[in-house]
Amino acid sequence: MWRQHFQGSTVKDNQLVSTVLSATMPRRQFLRNSALLAVPMMAAAGTAFAGVRLSGALAATATGAYVPPVRTRGATIINVRDKGAVGDGIHDDTAAFQAAINALPSTGGTVYVPAGTYLIDPVKKVSLRSYMLLNMDPQAKLQAKTNSATRAYILYAYQKVQLEIAGGQLIGDRDTHTYVTGSTSEWNHGIQIIGCKGVTIRDLWVGKCAGDGICTGGNTNDLVIANVVSTGNRRQGLSLTQCYNVKVYDSEFSYTKGTSPECGIDIEPDNDYVATNIWIENCRLNNNAKYGMNVYKRVSNVTLTKSTIEYNASCGVVTTGCSGIKLVGNTVRYNSATGVFFQDGTLNSSISGSLSYGNYTRLGVKVRTPFTLTGWASKIERDVLLRGTLTGTAVLTNNYQ
């Protein structure tokens, strides 16, 4: 198990150490190398952010990893260093990044970020554009400048199309942020995507944000997130608000703690908006202060499959006021409360082909003989709980230990 893997390590849970490899490396090689380097990187790390560790779930399926779409863009390549970026962690490089992006022609292109630590002012933010790739070296770190703003973003995209963000590390200012009395500063995100169409975020690490690692809304359509570690953020690892046709593969959302809802993934549209057609596969949702995944009102057609949901401080997965939620072939274990909780207003949803054990750890782990069960019975209420008005919601065949 993942926790056993790190027993005896000098790295604390909240140090969030991981491995980031080249965004230009072939994807299967990327995942294979991340698995090989995870242990020595952990051992060698003397401080947080020595690199980005990809989850065990990713390494386990490296040979069959999902390949995200390449977005349309022009052939121009601009190096941020050529626009004045220093990358020493002291000089404010926000303007240089923006100059490089603005210098792309109308057909777009690639902005390349070499290794280095680039101080970014999230109040000013780096505004991305259509038809571009932000291609960061695995040792390129975008460090958020300490601020007191209630809303601030390291990377920001508003109503853009055909956009790709790849490689590197985004490090928020949650530990040094000046929290204003009466404000949670929950809108301080690593990446904010609003009203965009055709966006790929891949092969990067984002953490220590005062808000979310990644947040999207505003009618975003066709968003792909692949091979991303979002960890140690205050509000969520990933927030999906008003959005459509989202795919999340081979990623980890972990150690969220600080301000509500504190989930790995929160699918929760604002106001009267909706979120629909969301596919989440081969991910890890672990060690979050509340739920591994929260699906809350006006959400439809979500599939969570082949993923591991573990060690969360409340439930593994919770659904409320939503429809068409399918949990298929997941491992749900060692969550402090119920593994999967179907709550009031959940329609036409199901759990099937899953393995569940060790849940409701706050009452002590229950040891039992492994069994397979079709349907629900009181003996699995630690694993699956049904409450409120549920229509067409089914507990199908699952395995329990």
pLDDT recorded at residue 296: 98
Instruction: Answer whether residue 389 is part of any domain.
Output: no
Instruction: Answer whether residue 340 is part of any domain.
Output: no
- The DSSP secondary structure of 224-275, one letter per residue, reads EEEEEEEES-SSEEEEE-SEEEEEEES-EEE---SSTT-EEEEE--STT--E
pLDDT recorded at residue 341: 98
Instruction: Answer whether residue 273 is part of any domain.
Output: yes
User: How many Cβ atoms from other residues are within 10 Å of residue 25's Cβ?
Assistant: 16
pLDDT recorded at residue 64: 66
pTM score over 0.85: yes
Instruction: Answer whether residue 171 is part of any domain.
Output: yes
Show Cβ contacts of residue 154 under 8 Å, excluding neighbours closer than 6 positions. Answer: 120, 122, 125, 126, 142, 144, 170, 172, 189, 190, 191, 209
Cα of 272 vs its chain's centroid, Å: 24
- CATH number of the domain that 308 lies in? 2.160.20.10
Q: Which residue range forms the structural domain that includes residue 239?
A: 2-313
Domain count, the chain: 1
Q: What pLDDT, in 10s, does the model give residues 229-260?
A: 999 999 999 999 999 999 999 999 999 999 99
Using the 8-state DSSP alphabet, how is residue 28 labeled?
H
Residues in the chain with pLDDT < 70?
1-64
Q: What pLDDT, in 10s, does the model give residues 341-398?
A: 999 999 999 999 999 999 999 999 889 999 999 999 999 999 999 999 999 999 999 9
Instruction: Answer whether residue 398 is part of any domain.
Output: no
pLDDT recorded at residue 182: 86
Instruction: Answer whether residue 369 is part of any domain.
Output: no
Instruction: Answer whether residue 281 is part of any domain.
Output: yes
Task: Please state, in angstroms and rounded to a whole number, the distance separating the CA atoms of residues 227 and 30.
Answer: 9
Instruction: Answer whether residue 394 is part of any domain.
Output: no
Token duo for residue 360: 């409701």
